[in-house]
């Protein structure tokens, strides 16, 4: 079954760019398709959210970027899981590489993003479990747990590694 899936991937995409290792310049090379395994396309850490009370930080971030899931290399997608303690927040930051879409799985999150040109405007909304919100590529944004329980958010990006850049405000 696995070999059939891998041959299907090979024939439908011409090449699956799987991370083998980063060289000294941080550039990824691709794994030879004959050495691919199902584990190159699988990631299990999201099923075990970390309780925020067991950490020194109030927020726990579990990324599923190309470094953690090699099968994402060259596919242009990634995701992450945020576990927020009550009152915790993600400071303003921007993703220049991709748009972010996220869904609240538990709790209530205040989300905010800014548009600077041609008009200066801030958009804010409290989203709750089951709600989805999108933040366009290149816009500064932040999130805060405004509920009375820990919140969990799953986010996806249309790039393999969004690398958030903090605001300089």
Q: Is the dihedral of CA 90, 94, 96, 100 positive or negative?
A: positive
Which two tokens mark 91? 């400071």
- Residue 11's H or E segment, with its range, is helix 2-13
Query: In the 8-state DSSP scheme, what is residue 51?
Result: P
Query: Does residue 93 have a known ligand-binding role?
Result: yes
Categorise residue 20: left if φ over 0, alpha if ψ from -120 to 50, beta otherwise: alpha
Query: Does residue 120 have a known ligand-binding role?
Result: no
Query: Does residue 4 have a known ligand-binding role?
Result: no
Query: In the 8-state DSSP scheme, what is residue 32?
Result: P
**Cα dihedral value 20, 96, 123, 58, nearest 10:** 50
Query: Does residue 68 have a known ligand-binding role?
Result: no
Annotated binding-site residues for oxalate read 95, 100
Binding residues for Mn(2+): 93, 95, 100, 141
- Residues tagged in the binding site annotation: 93, 95, 100, 141
């Amino acid at each position: 079954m696995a070999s059939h899936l891998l041959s299907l991937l090979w024939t439908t995409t011409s090449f699956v760019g799987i991370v083998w290792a980063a060289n000294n310049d941080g550039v990824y090379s691709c794994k030879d398709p004959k050495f691919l395994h199902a584990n190159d396309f699988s990631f299990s850490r999201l099923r075990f959210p970390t309780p925020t009370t067991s950490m020194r930080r109030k927020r726990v971030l579990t990324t599923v970027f190309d470094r953690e899931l090699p099968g994402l290399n060259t596919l242009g997608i990634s995701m992450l899981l945020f576990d927020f303690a009550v009152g915790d927040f993600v400071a303003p930051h921007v993703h220049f590489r991709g748009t972010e879409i996220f869904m609240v799985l538990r709790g209530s999150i205040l989300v905010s993003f800014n548009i600077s040109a041609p008009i200066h405007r801030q958009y804010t909304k409290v989203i709750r479990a089951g709600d989805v919100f999108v933040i366009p590529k290149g816009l500064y944004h932040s999130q805060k747990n405004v509920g009375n329980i820990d919140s969990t958010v799953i986010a996806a990006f249309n790039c393999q590694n969004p690398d958030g850049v903090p605001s300089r405000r």
